[in-house]
Structure 1
Amino acid sequence: MIALTLAEIAAVVGGELRVAREDTAETVVDGIVDTDSRMMEPGSIFVAKPGAETDGHRFVGAAVEAGAVLAIVEHVVDVPVSQIVVPDSVASLGDLAREVVARVRAGGGLRIVGITGSNGKTTTKNFLARILEDEGETVAPVRSFNNEVGAPVTMLRVTHGTRFLVSEFGAAAPGSIAHLAGLVTPDVAVVLMVGMAHAGGFGGIEATATAKAELVAAAKSSGTAVLNVDDSRVSAMQELARSRGMRVVGFGQGTAADVRAHDVQVTASGTTCEIESAGERMPLRLQVLGAHHITNALAAIAAAGVLGVPLADAVARLETVEIAERWRMQPLGGDRVRIINDAYNASPDSMAAALRTLAQITGPDERTVAVLGAMSELGESAGEEHDRIGLLAVRLNIQRIVVVGPEARRLYLAAVGEGSWDSEAVHLPDQDAAFEYLRTELRDGDRVLVKSSNSVGLRHLGDRLGELFS
């Protein structure tokens, strides 16, 4: 974080300052800011966040032992450290992020990109960060830090030397993206897609589209909307962007795209296509598996182009990316049995894309095995969407369908109903049972996809299988 005095921080968050030790109101703090006491280091600021399972106030002492010099709390804690008492510590985290980013931006050198979409946010963020880091100091979230805590924590990492801030915005509820994007008012708003992910929490896909459009509405009116014109709901956001005076750059594979992919090919070693932008054409060879990641690459290239990065540089840097992120189409195992661990998250769209990738990269003498768990947060559509994935797996001729957990049983029943008989489809109660089954069932030449929502935890099964067959 940039250097601020304790008095300045208290004023920003609207809290009561209680100094301790040898501190005064003019004591300067410039360390990292986090809600996790384990992340503290000398000079840090610890934000005590209440939670459903535990309370951050219990860890103020541990944070101080690790080096924290200031705690933002909702009540005074009996620990010898300066404290700022606020009504809502999470809201204060956002207030502090807004002020810090505004001060850095006032220097004129900071450009901000916001990214949202039902799928692909983290991969696109990683792609764009890789492109921009060679241009100058770039701050981007670790993992999927895209909520009311993770997004501000990332924003607070900016310094006066930061050239680019890449923010990822998730939507826990209507208004979430508007709030988070409103903290920084992005120069570039990237919307990837509108799908069924989290649709249950919004009341349907049209409400999800409205939530994603909040990013366009919150961006600078002099900024640029980078939109997936292959997705009709995202493409419709062009009207909103232009009504606000924003420039629009479209990406996709259709003729309406300004940044376009041609001839997409998927193999076991990666994904290739030809990129067309502003009259230039050049090949892109991604090491990352899956045709759906071409969409994410196009978004990153388009956003980078808005920020002045030449196409050739963007492509060259993307080609160095080995995996999108841990547990996202991550290759594991060895030559005998290859595991694709894609179980960090799952929606109907990403599940279908992963299954298609599995089918595309498996040779005629190899066997496809899909280890599938439940997709979360689909609301009333959950049953229908699990049915659809079960049907798709059979129609793609996935030769072994291993369904894990009671919440995914309907996927299994749909696969059986579609004709996956004679142990081609099995249903197992949990990942331990699945591991015991797979350790004897898998054989040389198998190509195995492990896919589920994060809450199901199949990413850990994928890791175990990867270690077993490495």
Structure 2
Amino acid sequence: MIALSLAEIAEVVGGQTHDIPDPSVQVTGSVVRDSREVEPGSLFVAFVGEHVDGHDFAEAVVEAGAVALLASRPVGVPAIVVDDVQSALGALARHVVRRLGATLVALTGSAGKTSTKDLIAQVLARKAPTVFTPGSLNNEIGLPLTALSATAETRFLVLEMGARGIGHIRYLADLTPPKVGLVLNVGTAHIGEFGGREQIAQAKGELVEALPSVEDGGVAVLNADDPLVRAMASRTKAKVILFGESGEADVRAENVRLTDSGQPAFSLHTPSGCSEVTMRLYGEHHVSNALAAAAVAHELGMSADEIATALSEAGSLSRWRMEVTERPDGVTIVNDAYNANPESMRAALRALAAMGRERRTWAVLGKMAELGDEALAEHDAVGRLAVRLNVGKLVAVGGREASWLQLGAYNEGSWGEESVHVSDAQAAVDLLRSELRPGDVVLVKASRSVGLESVAQALIETGAEGEVAAR
């Protein structure tokens, strides 16, 4: 964070100082909520959770080097006490962002946010110091913490914004007002909470409504291939730039193809020129993510060649998102178990099919959460798609929703042992350990609550131990 005194922070957040001998002492380190992340000069934010109260760590974090706590009650060590810690954290982030000289880029969408954010960050880092959201910390706590990690040297601040209802993105954009706003897509993630795709579009479009005008440098980057996103052009005062495979897109891809290993390649076309891209990531769905990143980078002054080089060298920065591990015995594990919705599930299955053109493929899938009344139809559709893509074997893991996946596959023609429903992750591991053979490709994917990353990890460890013999 940029250096601020405890007195300044107290004024910004409307708090009272307690047990602070010298209010001129500055916070020069990070702002953190996890006591394990405290470093000399930190400000520790004491949240009260269901199982843990941050105030209980007061003495420990000060001993570890924290200058003070942002707390909701006095704790006997230096603290700035406020009525609402979350609101105070947001106010501090808003203040710091306004003082920074950085260009703030915000993005949202139903699928692909984290992968695209990672691409944008890696591309912009070629131009100037860049700070970006770690993982998927895209809510009212994670977003201000990320913003507060920027320093005086930061030139680009890339923030992922998530939403579970109308008004959420408006709130986040008020905390950290963006200059460039990117909307990737409008899908069915969290449709059970929103009530329909039109409501999701309304919520995602709050980002472009928050942008400054063309005259003030605002830029809305919109997906030309998604009608609900493209329609958001009428909701913003900012300059609009379109990306996609549509011929009308300002930044577009032509000659899209996949390498033999399932990595996308394409010709990148921007208003400033054209260049070739071959990505290190897996799956054709990353083409749209790459185009979104390219559009942002183009608007921020990068050439087509610079963008293409950066995209071609970019890797995956966030865990369990199409994370590919090659075992010594030739088995490939694709760990995409961080989360799942119908759009990302379809994209992952298509990537699996591309990676396994000449190999036997396995799809180990679990529940997609928060789909409401659409849950049965969406799980059934994913099961059917696995069959249509000629996935060798579907392993549906878990309860009711997993049974719908398997039933969809069965009704599509996956009979015999081509699809199976197992009760839990351990049952899936046991099955795969007994049946995998060298050269197989295994995709593991489900909503975060299912915890299928344990399946991927167990299979990776099995390969390292040499437990799977060639047959």
| TM-score normalized with structure 1 length | 0.95
Give the SS at the match of 2:292.
helix
Give the SS at the match of 2:100.
helix
Deviations 1:384-403 (A, max 9, x none): 11111011111111110001
Residue 380 in 1 paired to residue 373 in 2?
Answer: yes
Say whether the 8 Å CA contact 1:188–1:226 is kept in structure 2: yes
Counterpart of 1:18 in structure 2 is 18
Aligned residue among 383, 387, 398 for 1:394: 387
Counterpart of 2:128 in structure 1 is 136
Say whether the 8 Å CA contact 2:272–2:304 is kept in structure 1: no
How far residue 33 of structure 1 moved from its aligned partner, in angstroms, is 0.4
Deviations 1:349-368 (A, max 9, x none): 0000110111122133x111
How far residue 383 of structure 1 moved from its aligned partner, in angstroms, is 1.3
Are the structure 2 counterparts of residues 224 and 115 from structure 1 closer, same or farther at C-alpha, using a change threshold of 3 Å? same
How far residue 7 of structure 1 moved from its aligned partner, in angstroms, is 1.2
Counterpart of 1:458 in structure 2 is 452
Give the SS at the match of 1:272.
strand
Residue 469 in 1 paired to residue 463 in 2?
Answer: yes
Give the SS at the match of 2:205.
helix
Counterpart of 1:85 in structure 2 is 81
Counterpart of 2:5 in structure 1 is 5
Counterpart of 1:428 in structure 2 is 422
Say whether the 8 Å CA contact 2:129–2:154 is kept in structure 1: yes
Deviations 1:288-325 (A, max 9, x none): 00111111110111001111011111111121123353
How far residue 272 of structure 1 moved from its aligned partner, in angstroms, is 0.6
Deviations 1:137-177 (A, max 9, x none): 11111111111111000100122221111111011322111
Residue 178 in 1 paired to residue 170 in 2?
Answer: yes
Task: Determine the C-alpha separation between the residues in 1 that align with 2:46 and 2:257.
Answer: 48
Residue 446 in 1 paired to residue 440 in 2?
Answer: yes
May I ask how many residue pairs the two structures share in their alignment? 458
Give the SS at the match of 1:465.
helix
Residue 353 in 1 paired to residue 351 in 2?
Answer: no
Counterpart of 1:206 in structure 2 is 198
How far residue 53 of structure 1 moved from its aligned partner, in angstroms, is 2.8
Say whether the 8 Å CA contact 2:93–2:145 is kept in structure 1: yes
Deviations 1:117-147 (A, max 9, x none): 1111111111111111121211111111111
Residue 248 in 1 paired to residue 240 in 2?
Answer: yes
Residue 408 in 1 paired to residue 420 in 2?
Answer: no
Deviations 1:190-211 (A, max 9, x none): 0000111111111111111111
How far residue 47 of structure 1 moved from its aligned partner, in angstroms, is 0.6
Aligned residue among 87, 95, 102 for 2:98: 102
Give the SS at the match of 2:208.
helix
Letter in 2 for 1:52: E
Letter in 2 for 1:90: Q
Q: How does 1:193-232 map to 2 (within 5 A)?
A: 193-221=185-213, 222=216, 223-232=218-227
Aligned residue among 157, 162, 165 for 2:149: 157
My pick for the range that moved more, 64-73 or 288-297, is: 64-73
Counterpart of 2:356 in structure 1 is 362
Letter in 2 for 1:421: W
Say whether the 8 Å CA contact 1:339–1:448 is kept in structure 2: yes
| RMSD between aligned residues | 1.4
Give the SS at the match of 2:166.
coil
Counterpart of 2:68 in structure 1 is 70
Counterpart of 2:38 in structure 1 is 40
Say whether the 8 Å CA contact 2:262–2:354 is kept in structure 1: no
> Please, which runs of 5 or more residues in structure 1 have no aligned partner?
none
Say whether the 8 Å CA contact 1:333–1:468 is kept in structure 2: no
Deviations 1:330-377 (A, max 9, x none): 11133621111111111100000110111122133x111100011111
Letter in 2 for 1:98: R
Q: How does 1:54-69 map to 2 (within 5 A)?
A: 54-69=52-67
Task: Determine the C-alpha separation between the residues in 1 that align with 2:284 and 2:188.
Answer: 19
Task: Determine the C-alpha separation between the residues in 2 that align with 1:56 and 1:377.
Answer: 30
Q: How does 1:244-323 map to 2 (within 5 A)?
A: 244=237, 246-267=238-259, 268=261, 270-278=263-271, 280-323=273-316
Residue 238 in 1 paired to residue 236 in 2?
Answer: no
Task: Determine the C-alpha separation between the residues in 2 that align with 1:34 and 1:324.
Answer: 21
How far residue 26 of structure 1 moved from its aligned partner, in angstroms, is 1.8
Deviations 1:406-434 (A, max 9, x none): 14221112212222111111111111111
How far residue 279 of structure 1 moved from its aligned partner, in angstroms, is 5.9
My pick for the range that moved more, 175-184 or 298-307, is: 175-184
| TM-score normalized with structure 2 length | 0.95
Give the SS at the match of 2:36.
helix
How far residue 270 of structure 1 moved from its aligned partner, in angstroms, is 1.7
Task: Determine the C-alpha separation between the residues in 1 that align with 2:430 and 2:326.
Answer: 16
Give the SS at the match of 1:236.
helix
My pick for the range that moved more, 53-62 or 28-37, is: 53-62
